[in-house]
C-alpha cells in the first residue's frame, strides 16, 4: 500500500463540530473544510436555515460574507439525509450548518399547537428524516462536516416543547457523534478534540 493511499484511508470522513452560541464552531468547521479541500476538492455549504425574518436573514448574510467564492451553496431545510446523498462525492466536502436549526425545522414542519405541559408528539415525518440523516452519514462517499449547537448545558427551559427540543438535540448529537470519525467541541473559539484526530 502506498503512503498516499494509506493516508487517504485513514482520513476522517464524518466530522461533528459542536458548541454553544457564538462559540466559533461554524468558523472552525469552515476552516476544517478548507483544509480537507486542499488539492482541488469542491466545497458545498449545505444550509438548513430559512430566511423567514430579518434576524435570520442577517445571520445568513453574515455567514455568506465570510465564505469565499469557492463554496457552492445548497439549501435543505427538511430532507437533509437525501441532500447529503444527492451531493456527496468522493471528490468533494459537504459542510452542514446546522443540525439544531434542521431539528427545529422538522419539529415545526407541520402547523400544530404544542402543549405547555405533557408529552410532545413530533410530526409524522420526524423519525423518518432523522433516520435518513444517520443512514446518509454512514453511506456518503465524501467527507461531511456537521455543525451543531450544544443547548443542554443551561437552565432547564420552561414549556414541554422547549424541553423536548433540548432532549432531542442532545440525542441527535450523541447519535451523530457515534457515527463520526472526528468530534470537536468549540468554546470561545478554541477547539477541543473529543474523538479522532484533528484535521
16, β-bridge pairs: 146, 183
Residue 62 annotated as catalytic: no
CA 166 to CA 156: how far, in whole Å? 9
The grid coordinates of residue 21 equal: 452560541
Contacts of 154 (CB under 8 A, 6+ apart): none
User: Would you call 105 exposed, middle or buried from its count of C-beta atoms within 10 A (0-12, 13-18, 19+)?
Assistant: middle
Provide φ and ψ at 48, rounded to 5°: -105, -10
Q: Residues 15, 50, 63, 70: which is the catalytic one?
A: 63
CA 61 to CA 92: how far, in whole Å? 24
Residue appearing with cell numbers 482520513 = 11
Catalytic residues: 63
Amino acid at each position: 500500500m502506498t503512503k498516499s493511499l494509506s493516508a487517504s484511508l485513514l482520513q476522517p470522513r464524518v466530522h461533528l463540530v459542536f458548541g454553544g452560541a457564538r462559540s466559533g464552531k461554524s468558523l472552525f468547521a469552515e476552516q476544517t473544510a478548507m483544509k480537507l479541500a486542499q488539492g482541488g476538492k469542491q466545497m458545498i455549504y449545505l444550509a438548513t436555515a430559512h430566511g423567514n425574518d430579518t434576524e435570520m436573514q442577517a445571520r445568513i448574510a453574515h455567514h455568506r460574507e465570510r465564505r469565499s467564492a469557492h463554496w457552492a451553496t445548497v439549501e435543505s431545510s427538511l430532507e437533509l439525509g437525501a441532500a447529503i446523498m444527492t451531493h456527496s462525492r468522493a471528490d468533494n466536502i459537504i459542510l452542514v450548518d446546522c443540525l439544531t436549526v434542521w431539528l427545529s425545522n422538522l419539529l415545526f414542519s407541520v402547523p400544530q399547537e404544542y402543549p405547555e405541559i405533557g408529552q410532545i408528539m413530533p410530526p409524522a415525518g420526524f423519525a423518518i428524516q432523522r433516520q435518513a440523516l444517520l443512514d446518509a452519514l454512514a453511506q456518503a462517499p465524501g467527507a461531511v462536516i456537521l455543525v451543531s449547537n450544544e443547548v443542554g448545558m443551561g437552565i432547564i427551559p420552561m414549556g414541554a416543547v422547549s424541553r423536548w427540543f433540548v432532549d432531542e438535540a442532545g440525542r441527535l448529537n450523541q447519535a451523530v457523534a457515534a457515527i463520526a470519525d472526528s468530534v470537536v467541541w468549540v468554546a470561545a473559539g478554541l477547539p477541543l478534540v473529543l474523538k479522532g484526530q484533528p484535521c
